[in-house]
Amino acid sequence: MRSLLFTIFTFFFILPSCVYALGIGPVNVEIDFQPNLVSQNTVYVVNSGDYSIPIKMSVEGELADYVKLNTYDFILGPKSTPSGIFYVDFTVSLPEKVEKPGTYKIWIFATENPEQTNTAGIGAKLRMGMPIFVYVPYPGKYVEFIPRENSVKIDNPNVNQTITFSIDAINRGNETIGDAKVIFSIYDPDDKSVTTFTTEGKPMPPSEKVTFTEDWLANNVRPGRYKLVTRMVYDGYRVEQTKEFLIGSPTAKIINLFYSPIVEGTIGKITADVGSEWNSRIPGMSILLEIRKGDFYTGVRSETFDLNPWQEVNITMFWDTSKIAGGLTAAVAGATISEGPGEYSGNATVYYLNGTHSVPFSLTVIPKGFQFTTENVLIILAVVLAIIFAVSALFYKRRSKKKFAQKRLM
What contacts 77, CB < 8 A, 6 or more positions away?
A: 47, 52, 83, 84
pLDDT value at residue 138: 95
Kindly indicate the confidence band of residue 118, based on its pLDDT and cuts at 50, 70 and 90.
low
| Model pLDDT, residue 334 | 37
> For residue 115, what pLDDT is reported?
67
| 407: confidence class by pLDDT, cuts 50, 70, 90 | low
Question: Which one is predicted more confidently, 62 or 7?
Answer: 62
Torsions phi, psi for 119 (to 5 deg): -70, 130
Asked if residue 3 has pLDDT above 60, the reply is no
Q: How far is CA 61 from CA 8, 106, 133, 336, in A?
A: 35, 5, 10, 76
Using pLDDT thresholds of 50, 70 and 90, give the confidence band for residue 141.
Answer: very high
Q: What is the mean pLDDT of the chain?
A: 85
Q: Which fold has domain 252-366?
A: Immunoglobulin-like (2.60.40)
Average pLDDT of the residues in 205-229: 94
**pLDDT on residue 202:** 96
pLDDT tier for residue 116 given thresholds of 50, 70 and 90: low
Question: How do residues 246-283 score in pLDDT, each as one tens digit?
Answer: 999 889 999 999 999 999 889 999 999 999 999 889 99
CATH superfamily, region 17-136: Immunoglobulins (2.60.40.10)
Q: How far apart are CA 13 and CA 7, in angstroms?
A: 10
CB neighbours of 339 closer than 8 A, spacing ≥ 6?
A: 293, 294, 296, 365
Q: Do domains 17-136 and 252-366 have the same CATH topology?
A: yes
Centroid of chain to Cα 311: 21
Q: Give domain limits for the chain.
A: 17-136, 143-247, 252-366, 380-405
Question: Which amino acid is it at 192?
Answer: K
Q: Of 191, 226, 230, which Cα lies nearest the Cα of 214?
A: 230
Which superfamily does CATH assign the domain made up of 143-247 to? Answer: Immunoglobulins (2.60.40.10)
| The predicted structure's pLDDT at residue 303 | 95
pLDDT exceeding 70 applies to what percent of the chain? 82
Amino acid 243: pLDDT: 93
pLDDT of residue 8: 35
Give the pLDDT of residue 374.
Answer: 62
244 pLDDT exceeds 80?
Answer: yes
